[in-house]
Amino acid sequence: MQIQFFLRIIFCLVLLLQFYSCSDKNGKADSKKIIRDDLGVKIGFDTIPRKIISLAPNITEALFAIGADSLIAGVTDLCDYPSEAKTKTKTGNYLNPDYERISSLSPDLILMYVSGVSQPSYQALKNLNMKLFVCNPVNTNDIIRMITNLGRITGRELKAQELSQNLVNEREKIFLSVRDKKLESCLIVVSVNPLMTASGKTFIHEITELSGLDNIYKDESLDYPMISYEDVTAKNPSFIILPCDTTDENKYNRFINELSEKLSTTNAIKDKKIILVDDNVIFRPGPRFLEGVKLITEKLKKYN
């Protein structure tokens, strides 16, 4: 399997080393703390930012999970978990932030999810002299590191340490429970039209693998490649993982009907093995990633 036991041990040691430099229980920031973000930019923190804007739902979830929600001054329109996030001031979305609203909030820090410094929203906020820190987790280790960094930034190191260690421990326990099992093949559907999937480089793949399924597109070079229905038919997956809004029955039934029609000869369709999972859990690289594993695992039980 892709997830290697010794890498987890090394990662745990790295976490422990990081925590030795963390702040105390009173939440005081380290003096002249320097943290490198996911774009490789070094950001200095002399004090704890008291007004933070989160421009990604997964970041918002992580801030709430470590008890830093009192520092949140604004969130995106899509930040809906936990329910308290809905009460925060809305600042647009990560692709089209409301720059006027953001400026009016006078934030000390903006946390965002972007792929590069050339992205227009990043440059626009830079031009407004905003302090930016990018969280762009690709795999589950990145998610845990994001939580650790947010703890250091917000002075919630102990809570972040506890959450991170719990995630590492639980992930390891799940990994050990499935590593010797024969994995059944599956197609991960990121988009139905056009048909898009997730490769082995993604956290979505890790969620699927930890659930005891073998991603038929794990060896693709792109993180989220577009694929053809013909190729999927040739690979003949035993299961299809379909993340969707599970509250919108009409929408997910349309997806199921389209997949059933175009992949009618695959074992997954013939055996009616389409697993619906909440896309807010599966698609968000945040502290709930193991809930995605549990959702899939629970639904797999009925096929045993």
Residue 114 confidence (pLDDT):
86
Q: What is the DSSP letter of 12?
A: H
First to last CA, the chain: 22
Task: Give Cα 160 to chain centroid, integer Å.
Answer: 16
Residues whose CB falls within 8 Å of the CB of residue 163, separated by 6 or more in sequence, listed in order: 65, 66, 147, 287
pTM value is: 0.86
Which amino acid does the sequence have at 96?
N
**pLDDT, tens digit (0-9, with 9 covering 90-100), for 158-174:** 999 999 999 999 999 99
Q: What is the DSSP letter of 56?
A: S
Domain 181-303 has CATH 3.40.50.1980: yes
**pLDDT, tens digit (0-9, with 9 covering 90-100), for 77-106:** 999 999 999 999 999 987 789 999 999 999
User: Could you give the CA distance from residue 216 to residue 236 in angstroms, rounded to a whole number?
Assistant: 9
**pLDDT, tens digit (0-9, with 9 covering 90-100), for 199-215:** 999 999 999 999 999 99
What residue spans in the chain does CATH classification 3.40.50.1980 cover?
24-168, 181-303
Q: What's the CATH code, domain 24-168? A: 3.40.50.1980
